[in-house]
């Protein structure tokens, strides 16, 4: 796992159903809850945070087929989206607070503190980087955070680490079979929905490809090879697998590879790369139940922070109690329809069940809709 920075908590106000929302993090995080509780919205918000540091918010909106007005909550009259991201750096608290203007598509105010020291502040049309003696009027256009436009030489090393953390956060929250089969030549990263998987694999090193095949072989013993061949004249990358059945070797193109294997290929290919965090939505989709355990084990043991969503109690069956206690978060809608979050096993009735059941059994033995009032009471007592 990235030893320098990790997410500790995020707070969001006025992003879709996230109003007065707070979410705690551990290394492995699994968001559970009823359909419509806001699980996917949370992943979208985390990706929205990471995009602030890159800029190009308009392109990010286009990639999701959204407009800026889709971001705001219908539950609030507030115009801006405000947020706080709390991180930790070797035990030191790092805090980023900001207000995002959806008309301007940028953070009109923001502040980053590191160990209590202010490293960046934007307010009233000016920005300051105190440790670099910078305090200037903002006379340039930008989208997202002002960090997206500031050069590294203008920043203290801590803010360079901060930028890197969010730039290396990867969201695979919209994986779709059609996108995963896309063969166009493009960049060296996975696109939205898993687009450009074939191009991504073609740019992997020999060792990364060997690790990918080794991991996939544990799930699909017949697998021999994963090939991604660039066809420059056609502007495509041909993705295919090679399998051994008895004495017969069979090659299969991406368009005929089953959806589950393609999803595994995308997830495990991404895990070969250095990254600060990985987001995955409904990880059990398209995956045979007998293969879920390997997927969960790989994500729990991954060398990065992982945030997934699930609606299946089967996922929890393969978690150790301590992983489940720290990492499983229950999302629900309060009486006004705003998404709220609480660690599932911080709820007293779930704590009691965990004494004589496994995490998956306790989850399966529970009607999630009945947990919301109890969770709301706990939140009220702790507020």
What is the rounded CA–CA span in Å between residue 374 and residue 350? 10
Average pLDDT, the chain: 92
Pairing of strands 28-32, 328-333: parallel
Residues 355-383 have pLDDT tens digits of 999 999 999 999 999 999 999 898 888 76
In this prediction, residue 84 carries a pLDDT of 99
In this prediction, residue 151 carries a pLDDT of 93
Residue 2: is its pLDDT beyond 50? Answer: no
- pLDDT-based confidence at residue 174 (cuts at 50, 70, 90): confident
- pLDDT-based confidence at residue 3 (cuts at 50, 70, 90): low
φ/ψ (deg, to 5) at 19: -125, 125
The helix (run of H) or strand (run of E) holding residue 374 is: helix 368-382
Sign of the torsion angle spanned by Cα atoms 119, 29, 210, 203: negative
**What percentage of residues in the chain have a pLDDT greater than 90?**
74
Q: What angle do CA 90, 95, 98 make, to 5 degrees?
A: 155
| pTM, two decimal places | 0.92
Average of per-residue pLDDT across 298-317: 92
- pLDDT-based confidence at residue 290 (cuts at 50, 70, 90): confident
Query: In the sheet that 339-343 helps form, which strands lie side by side, from edge to edge?
Result: 169-172, 277-280, 305-309, 28-32, 328-333, 339-343
- The answer to whether 351 and 359 have CB atoms below 8 angstroms apart is no
Residue 331: is its pLDDT beyond 90? Answer: yes
Residue 187: is its pLDDT beyond 70? Answer: no
DSSP string across 63-97: HTT--GGGTB-TT----SEEEEEEEEETTEEEEEE
- The answer to whether 281 and 29 have CB atoms below 8 angstroms apart is no
């Amino acid at each position: 796992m990235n030893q320098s920075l990790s997410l500790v908590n995020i707070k969001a106000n006025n992003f879709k159903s996230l109003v007065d929302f707070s979410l705690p993090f551990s290394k492995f995080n699994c968001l559970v809850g009823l359909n419509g509780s806001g699980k996917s919205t949370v992943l979208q918000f985390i990706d929205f945070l990471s995009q602030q540091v890159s800029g190009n918010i308009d392109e990010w909106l286009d990639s999701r087929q959204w407009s800026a007005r889709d971001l705001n909550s219908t539950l609030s009259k507030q115009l801006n989206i405000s947020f706080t991201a709390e991180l930790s750096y070797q035990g030191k608290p790092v805090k980023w607070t900001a207000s995002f203007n959806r008309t301007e598509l940028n953070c009109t105010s923001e502040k980053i503190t590191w160990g209590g020291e202010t490293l960046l502040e934007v307010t009233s049309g000016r920005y300051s980087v105190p440790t670099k003696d910078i305090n200037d009027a903002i006379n340039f256009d930008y989208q997202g955070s002002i960090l997206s436009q500031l050069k590294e030489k203008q920043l203290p090393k801590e803010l360079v680490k901060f930028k890197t953390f969010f730039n290396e956060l990867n969201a695979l929250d919209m994986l779709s079979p059609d996108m995963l089969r896309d063969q166009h030549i493009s960049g060296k990263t996975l696109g939205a929905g898993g687009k450009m998987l074939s191009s991504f694999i073609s740019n992997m090193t020999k060792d990364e490809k060997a690790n990918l095949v080794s991991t996939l072989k544990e799930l699909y013993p017949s697998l021999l090879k994963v090939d991604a061949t660039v066809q420059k004249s056609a502007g495509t990358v041909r993705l295919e697998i090679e399998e051994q059945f008895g004495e017969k070797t069979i090659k299969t193109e991406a368009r005929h590879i089953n959806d589950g294997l393609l999803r595994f290929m995308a997830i495990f290919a991404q895990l070969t790369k250095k990254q600060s965090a990985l987001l995955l939505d409904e990880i059990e989709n398209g995956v045979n139940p007998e293969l879920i355990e390997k997927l969960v084990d790989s994500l729990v043991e991954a060398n990065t922070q992982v945030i997934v969503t699930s609606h299946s109690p089967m996922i929890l069956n393969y978690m150790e109690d301590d992983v489940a206690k720290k990492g499983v978060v229950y999302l629900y809608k309060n009486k006004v329809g705003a998404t709220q979050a609480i660690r599932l096993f911080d709820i007293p009735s779930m704590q009691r069940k965990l004494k004589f059941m496994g995490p998956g059994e306790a989850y399966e033995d529970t009607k999630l809709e009945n947990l919301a009032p109890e969770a709301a009471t706990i939140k009220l007592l702790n507020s």
